[in-house]
Chain A
């Protein structure tokens, strides 16, 4: 008799569970746990939109003509409709120009160089001011910009570690399939050569004065600075 009793209780228990399952299905019996994972968290995609300053102000701040600014903005807005470039988008865009390698690290450094106020996104103003320096600035301004790029922590000195990081990121952009093959010590060799050339007082860091001075004496570098004059 005991066994039968046990089985009957079990059977009745199963019936009750099934009943509750059916009720839950109909939404009549709501257990507690179904409110946590509502889809409100999907709205974290910010709807922040940024409008740039007026055309006149930008014209005053940069050396571009009105038409050039218009054309630049059209391209900018096409790729970033919200008016702000975050780092991920920036990396994606920049990587498209270097299909064979990995341009994300260098893009990260570039992003920091453009994002002057360090708020994590590039507005059109930052973009256009940076471009103005690069394309229409004097050689000293360009060299300043380059120094700023290399100086990762913006303390006014380029250390070997910073330069090594930059160099590695540049070599990363080449990718794997190069001729000759990129050896593992190629970046550090290149950094050593750079420091030999730039670091006049051999104190292990390159200051802005050393940098500008050395570059101004180097024929190749001065020529290459003029290379991209007619980009826009």
Chain B
């Protein structure tokens, strides 16, 4: 609930009088404000700068340092103010958060100092407002990358207990690690260069006998070139096999681009070996030699810049695609126009539209070979328009590609897209969660708050250890965890429930009960627990999503609280305490429910909501100790289980 509307809570509660004449049930008791005092100004002295605010303003967020009694530790008796030895500039943002309900991140602030201040004052950075959240996340990411880069520099120390295979792989990937690796690196580089030069020189015409026509060197010194080629291919094959052996995941290695290049580079030689005698296919064999030029791509292992260029082109695929598309469009348009413009003139080279394509391409890329020129006036006009537009069309996407390259080169953000997607998902989840957060708080406190209403409820016996008499202690313990504001809000929602004689439940429970309309046993549940929105699947960990057989304690993950759970056929009453922030998009839970509709008792075992730090923390649950022994006892025993989130 935003802080701003906290001031309107009294109004909302007063307006609830509108429901009273309509309701048929008695209303719950309102929470009382035991120590109600007049609102007063408090002084916060932060490193000498004094801030003043109303006490109520700070009380809006009881989970933070300033909103709870933790600030009493900083109270200075002599000066009657709260003294904090922290940065006053950042404190300004912190205090504004209390005032307006929105946390802003100032751009000039260093990200780590801001994070520290937030951590000190107990504010979760996730509640930074949308206006500043992007900036905050960007800075945070840059900082994390910087830290990672620093760490990587220290990572080259050799780890003990590496197998021979792992050492080899590390040697291949980082040549700086050992001398052998460096030697290997240079040797392969040398041979790649030699191989490429050989291929090139092969075709140069060497001197020839005077009566014969010039032959290329390759045909003159066949044996020498063949030996050279063989040697290079040997080295490349050995290198490839060694890499294949050392790779941690051979399948993945074989699918990687570099290994494909390796294979393509050496394959023509072997194919040539096999096929030399066959005259028909030798033509094709000659074509295959073209692929030997792929050896030059092997240099990309040796050059970081080449790799980044390759990655840039891949990541700019959309810009390149746009460039290609617009060029094609323009080529077709201009070729058509030129063809028709030049149709009349005699001896025109523009014999057909495809023939005009060549002219258009040459003109648009400002090459201008001059083998085809328009002769008519119209042709010349359109030709000039063509060349002007060519400059524009080609010049437009190029800066984007260039900036991409430089960005990647400098920051090496290979995982940028992946991380950006996660952030986006997380943001959407955040927004949704803040909406469900307050309703969850109500549902949580309903379970806990029943102790406070033990006075008026129910005639059916319920198996709770606590009775009215002992409830005061519990009450105090419990009321500590929910602020007055929250309890008032929950009282309001409770009144609405009573007015309409229906109860709020959370979505999971609703989905379940909707799906299994016939399978549930309502009467056996004790009303106090039955009024819960039993969030189910507490016993099912993520691992055992699909099974709904009773799971013994041992199979639960180690951090599950050591309480038992009954697992009836239909569904489970459970208390799900979410102590970690775990984000699960709502759509998946729904779709997974749909998927499991054919199972007899689908269980939604996914934790679906989160509570942020603002929400009150649920207190220890009600447990019935006899639940252990009555595991198969069926629906009459309903145990409340506390499971910490996975």
Contacts and interface: CB of A to CB of B under 8 A. Distances in A.
Q: Do A and B come from one complex?
A: yes
A181 B501 CA distance: 11
Given A12-B381, A181-B513, A228-B30, A174 B502 contact: yes
A116 interface: no
A93 to B, nearest CB: 5
Contacts of B488: 231
Interface centre among B19, B488, B533 (most CB of A within 10 A): B19
Contact of B340 (A7, A167, A193): A7
Interface in B1-30: 1-2, 4-5, 7-27, 30
Contact of B343 (A3, A175, A193, A232): A3
Given A11-B341, A93-B5, A221-B20, A173 B496 contact: yes
B385 interface: yes
B39 interface: yes
Contacts of A157: none
Contacts of A100: 439, 504
Interface in B486-510: 488-489, 492-493, 495-497, 499-500, 502-507, 509-510
A11 B14 contact: no
Interface stretch (A23-31, A34-42, A142-150): A142-150
A224 B26 contact: yes
Interface residues on B, range: 35 or more
B21 A8 contact: no
A230 interface: yes
A36 B435 CA distance: 41
B458 to A, nearest CB: 16
Interface string A178-196: 1111100010001001100
Contact of A98 (B9, B343, B496): B496
B436 interface: yes
Majority DSSP secondary structure for residues of A touching B = helix
B21 A221 contact: yes
A171 B500 contact: yes
A179 B32 contact: no
A170 B500 contact: yes
B17 A174 contact: no
A179 B8 contact: no
B26 A220 contact: yes
Interface stretch (A45-53, A54-62, A68-76): A68-76
B11 A127 contact: yes
A227 B27 contact: yes
Contact of A145 (B7, B17, B504): B17
A15 B439 CA distance: 66
A224 B499 CA distance: 11
Given A131-B11, A170-B500, A179-B505, A97 B492 contact: yes
A166 to B, nearest CB: 8
A178 B496 contact: no
A165 interface: no
Contacts, number: 180
Interface string A73-108: 011101100000000000001101111100000000
A221 B507 CA distance: 32
Interface residues of A, number: 70
Contacts of B344: 1, 3-4, 7
A220 B5 contact: no
B504 A174 contact: yes
A67 B37 CA distance: 12
Nearest to A100: B439
A179 B513 contact: yes
B533 A93 contact: no
B382 interface: yes
B514 interface: yes
Interface in A190-232: 190, 193-194, 211, 215, 220-221, 223-225, 227-228, 230-232
20 contacts: A1-B344, A12-B381, A75-B7, A97-B492, A131-B14, A134-B14, A142-B17, A150-B21, A176-B510, A177-B505, A178-B504, A178-B510, A179-B503, A179-B510, A190-B22, A220-B26, A224-B27, A227-B17, A227-B27, A230-B33
Interface of B: 1-2, 4-5, 7-27, 30, 32-33, 36, 38-39, 340-341, 343-345, 376-378, 381-382, 385, 435-436, 438-439, 488-489, 492-493, 495-497, 499-500, 502-507, 509-510, 513-514, 531, 533
Given A4-B376, A7-B340, A227-B30, 15 more contacts: A72-B10, A79-B8, A131-B14, A135-B10, A142-B17, A149-B18, A171-B502, A177-B505, A178-B503, A181-B510, A190-B500, A220-B26, A221-B20, A227-B17, A228-B14
Give the 7 A-B residue pairs with the shortest CB-CB distance, closest first: A75-B7, A177-B510, A134-B14, A7-B378, A11-B378, A178-B502, A11-B381
Interface of A: 1, 3-4, 7-8, 10-12, 14-15, 18, 67, 71-72, 74-76, 78-79, 93-94, 96-100, 109-110, 113, 127, 130-131, 134-135, 142-143, 145-146, 149-150, 166-167, 170-171, 173-182, 186, 190, 193-194, 211, 215, 220-221, 223-225, 227-228, 230-232
